[in-house]
Structure 1
Amino acid sequence: MLKTQTARFAPGQVVRHSKFGYRGLIFDVDASFSQSPEWYEVMSEMHPSKDRPWYHILVDGEKHTTYVAEESLIACPETEEFDHPLLEHLFKCSDSGDISSRLIVN
């Protein structure tokens, strides 16, 4: 029987990578690792669990996205502006500054 995992973070939430220190904005969540075994071996230095949630993240101040295991993330206060070229494509723009309320649901 498969055990269902509950994600600690949700799309629209700002997080910080515990090892590398960058801020990120979650735009999607996978219940478990969904990349190739080759990607895991090359890109995942710490070899975190594949059975826990993994997150697709916009990296603040950069143009790329990243894919990170839940155990490598910590919650981050949303006190600063967030800068990423895909932000307006994935989230609604709002004057309130509440990023989590800007998610576009199709």
Structure 2
Amino acid sequence: MTDLFATESKLQPAEMRIAKFGLGAVVRHRVYPFRGVVFDVDPVFDNTEEWWLAIPEEVRPRKDQPFYHLLAENAESEYVAYVSEQNLVPDTSGEALRHAGIPDVFDLDEDGAYRLRSAHAN
């Protein structure tokens, strides 16, 4: 007989970490030249094993940390990125983001901060 609860979670609640960056936070990658705004957070890795294994082993992030979905951009393009917390730092440049998807997800408040549009709030 299989214990249904044994496979429900690989991490115990005490092992879960609180995300360092919230929705609307502007961040940049610690190594690669891109930045973006957080629109979703996974408490631990929640992508495919194939995606994870495609990352070179010497820079492959741990799975037991928050992972962030970003509306990301670099000098050439705009895209959605999935990035581990260990690879993100706050972006303090003050430069506006140009990602075309931002108005669909966020409103800009009077202080220039990104706030989820009410249609996207959980």
Partners of 1:78 and 1:48 in 2: CA distance: 25
Which residue of the partner structure matches residue 90 of structure 1?
A: 105
C-alpha displacement of 1:51: 0.6
Of structures 1 and 2, the one with the larger relative CO (CA 8 A, separation 6+) is: 1
Question: Residue 74 in 1 paired to residue 89 in 2?
Answer: yes
Q: RMSD over aligned Cα, in angstroms? A: 1.7
Q: Considering only CA atoms, is the larger Rg found in Structure 1 or Structure 2?
A: 2
Which 5+ residue runs of structure 1 have no aligned equivalent?
none
Question: 1:10-89 maps to which residues of 2 (within 5 A)?
Answer: 10-42=22-54, 44-45=55-56, 46-60=59-73, 62-77=77-92, 79-89=94-104
Aligned residues: 103
TM-score scaled to structure 1, two decimals? Answer: 0.86
Contact 2:73 2:79 (8 Å CA) reproduced: no
TM-score scaled to structure 2, two decimals? Answer: 0.76
Which 5+ residue runs of structure 2 have no aligned equivalent?
1-10
Q: How many percent of aligned residue pairs carry the same amino acid?
A: 33
Higher strand share: 2
